[in-house]
Amino acid sequence: MPLWYHTTMSNTEIHDEDTLIANCVFCNIVNGKIPSVKLFENEETLAFLDINPNTRGHTLVIPKAHHENIYGLPAETLARTMLTVQHVAIALKNELNADGINIVMNNESAAGQLIWHAHVHIIPRTNEDNGYVGQKYTYIAGEMEEIAEQIKGTLIL
């Protein structure tokens, strides 16, 4: 299992800053080294569809700068990240006809953090799924790109 996937040690306990960023899956998405289906991007944040979603439209919002989790995230960066979360959550709710939205940020292994780059999950919910967060959704071919195009049209700031 890759080191970034799961460990009880934080990344800063394992790597120096340059190695950490070079091996961070989300930093590699920001840098275009790993493909993603982007919904929204500005100077400081990026929103993209989760490749292991709980529900259709499950999205991750990250600060582009590497910060391990909420503890080291500067307040301004956190505020801007949450503005993107709100903006994307509204678009997902409206465009996917969600009955509700979960906003989740896991911090450290005990809380379920698997990737050591601060990120917020936006999980569209319906009354039929009863709010069960442990389920997984499987996209059919082209569905992620279809959702992205649908959402992108409403995400103009």
Set 15, 58, 119, 121: catalytic member: 119
Q: How far apart are CA 119 and CA 129, in angstroms?
A: 24
Query: Is 119 assigned a catalytic role?
Result: yes
DSSP assignment of 95-123: HTT-SEEEEE---SGGGT--SSS--EEEE
Name residue, tokens 């409206």.
Answer: 94
Task: Kindly calculate the radius of gyration of the chain based on its CA atoms and give it in whole angstroms.
Answer: 15
- Residue 124 has a CB neighbour count (10 Å cut-off) of 25
The residues assigned a catalytic role are: 119
